[in-house]
Amino acid sequence: MLWDYQQPVAIRFGNGRVREIKDVAAEMGLTEGGLLVSEKLFATNGTAEKIVKDSEGTISEIFSDFSPNPDVTEVDKAAALIREKHLKFVVAMGGGSAMDLAKSAASIAFTNDSIADYHGTGKAMPQEHLPIIAVPTTAGTGSEVTCVSVLTNRALGKKAPIVSDGFFPSVAIIDPELTYSVPPHVTASTGMDVLSQAIEGYWSKGHQPICDACAIHAAPLVFKYLPIAVAEPDNAEARQKMCEASVIAGLAFTLPKTTSSHACSFPLTNIYGIPHGEACGLTLDWFARVNADAQHGRVQEFARAIGFKNVDAMADAIQELKVKVGLRTGLKDLNLNAEQIADLVRISRHPNLYNNPVEIADDMLQDMYEHLAATD
């Protein structure tokens, strides 16, 4: 077995560490020209302004004009601001949307290109890029330690990841206190994304030992602490452990890449607006059973390693977790017709699907979506 491992992101973990942004930038030789990419919530509640003020001139601009599942046009606007103001680095504060936009904008800012030129086209991203300091405010995407940016092109009805080594942040600051105000449903959805990343990273065709170890560490934390974090938002231990699970699951999947559940999540989010993590979790237990005996028993070994008798027991626990934290377990409320199910099957044939250890045929997807369409 041949494998490589690369993780260039410096990680700073712990309560209160968001206050280190200015010091981190200074250590990188950056004392001015910072752009804070912040979700609208933080721009309106004063958090973004406080970050800028506390930076004492290190950060001079805020960009928050973007939507959940950011569009390619919004990336282009951020890149234009970077060029116009001659900015020197980017601080991405928020969930996956802020991270994804910041990564792409920081890379195309040195060009006059649109990010659409690189989105799902196979064109290699520019090598030159601005340094990024990533500050996640959800325990979910793991984007603070990955080289992936997931964007949407609404004009074309397309959502897809772009992968580039230039997307790795220079530093990730994980401060669990920033997650306390996250609403329960967002906590549940992003937490399910963590579980999906860990499990899919393990069974991906690109699996390797270091990422496997990260997956085995992260997944049990989600099963134990996600229900607590949803029910008790101020529970410090649960929030800290979910942040730990998130960053380590990010390490688990960034090199092997995600697989089937993520492939199917894209049309569910893009067409029906189902939050990303919830969309991933919707099919995770189904694919666990499909992959149960793949890779000469590796998936069964994973289930046992994280405390289950076998994969069936793990799949049952995934289903139970979704119910416990209030996530959907079916699509019956959408009243899908045959044509809509056929569209889901077609669009689910995303490149990530081919990372799955078992070949997924259209009739398998058809069976899955028909079952979900009949399930509450």
Q: Say what the pLDDT of residue 300 is.
A: 98
Task: Evaluate if residue 44 carries a pLDDT over 90.
Answer: no
Residue 257 token pair: 């890449």
What SS3 state is found at 62? strand
Query: Residues 260-277, buried b or exposed e (16+ Cβ, 10 A)?
Result: bbbbbbbbbbbeeebbbb
CB 298 within 8 A of CB 360: no
Q: Say what the pLDDT of residue 348 is.
A: 97
In whole angstroms, give the CA distance from residue 107 to residue 164.
9
pTM above 0.85, yes or no: yes
User: What does the pLDDT look like over 327-374, one tens digit per residue?
Assistant: 999 999 999 999 999 999 999 999 999 999 999 999 999 999 999 999
The confidence band for 91, taking pLDDT boundaries of 50, 70 and 90, is: very high
What SS3 state is found at 79? helix
Q: Which domains does the chain have, with CATH numbers?
A: 10-178 (3.40.50.1970), 183-373 (1.20.1090.10)
Residue 157 token pair: 């009805």
Q: Say what the pLDDT of residue 43 is.
A: 84
The confidence band for 127, taking pLDDT boundaries of 50, 70 and 90, is: confident
Which residue do the tokens 């990533």 mark? 134
CB 355 within 8 A of CB 259: yes
Residue 231: other Cβ atoms inside 10 A? 14
Task: Evaluate if residue 299 carries a pLDDT over 90.
Answer: yes
Q: Say what the pLDDT of residue 51 is.
A: 93
Residue 53 token pair: 């003020």
User: What does the pLDDT look like over 141-192, one tens digit per residue?
Assistant: 899 999 999 999 999 988 888 999 999 999 999 999 999 989 999 999 999 9
